[in-house]
Amino acid sequence: MKIKAAILAVSAAALLAACGQPAADKAPAADAAATAPVELKAPAGVYVMDPTHASLQWSLPHNTISNYTARFNKFDAKITLDPANLANSAVEVSIDPASVDANYPGDYTGTHAGSGFKTWSEDIAKNKNFLNAGTFPQITFKSTKVELTGPRTAKVTGDLTFLGVTKPVTLDATFNGEIEKHPFMQVPTLGFAAEGKFKRTDFGMALGPVGDEVTIRFDAEFLQQVAPAAAAPAA
């Protein structure tokens, strides 16, 4: 009986091991499937931002009681897409800081008579304590690494140049979708969103009644850039 019990125990252990092994083997495959990128139909190449379907907002804590939000009205972006290996793709963004839109409905000159500016948007754009657009007329972001985190998501790390200082910033990007042919432009079109955070003090900006950590949010559609048709040869 003892021998029979021992044989049963060994058999049960072997059976459990056999049953458990395939699950362990399948775990990495399941993880890989969870992060495998969606299969893009869009061809490789450069995709430029459609300014009529784009938004770039930023927000930061205000007086520790709310989040203050504004936007830029003039900015541009392009994506160099490698659909066969999305990690080889790249993105570049340029922003005109003078285009900041604070959407301030109050009597700014009445409440800020000593500022020297006519609007809150102008103050943020030109004030040396804020965006200082007269000295630094452009903000840029150039990606240096794209790391896939899911079928439609990635972490995009790049160099942010702001107020003359360049530092790495990581954005969480999401692929929203694609259409094979834009209804008006007749070219492949992609949709992306990105969000990230950085500290103003890292770029030399002094603290005040607003907080240090800035949150940025970007949404846009990108159209495939098509080379202009070659001119017809002279007769």
Give which of 168, 222, 221, 214 is closest to 195, Cα–Cα: 214
Q: Say if CB 196 and CB 162 are below 8 A apart.
A: no
Q: What is the per-residue pLDDT across 141-192, written as a single tens digit (0 to 9) for each?
A: 999 999 999 999 999 999 999 999 999 999 999 999 999 999 988 999 999 9
Of 88-102, 130-144, 174-188, 220-234, least confident by mean pLDDT is 220-234
DSSP string over 195-223: EEEEEGGGGTPPP-SB-SEEEEEEEEEEE
pTM given for the model: 0.81
Give the distance, in angstroms, between the CA of residue 34 and the centroid of all CA atoms in the same chain.
21
What SS3 class is residue 34? helix
What SS3 class is residue 227? coil
Q: What is the per-residue pLDDT across 14-58, written as a single tens digit (0 to 9) for each?
A: 333 334 444 445 555 555 556 677 788 899 999 999 999 999 999
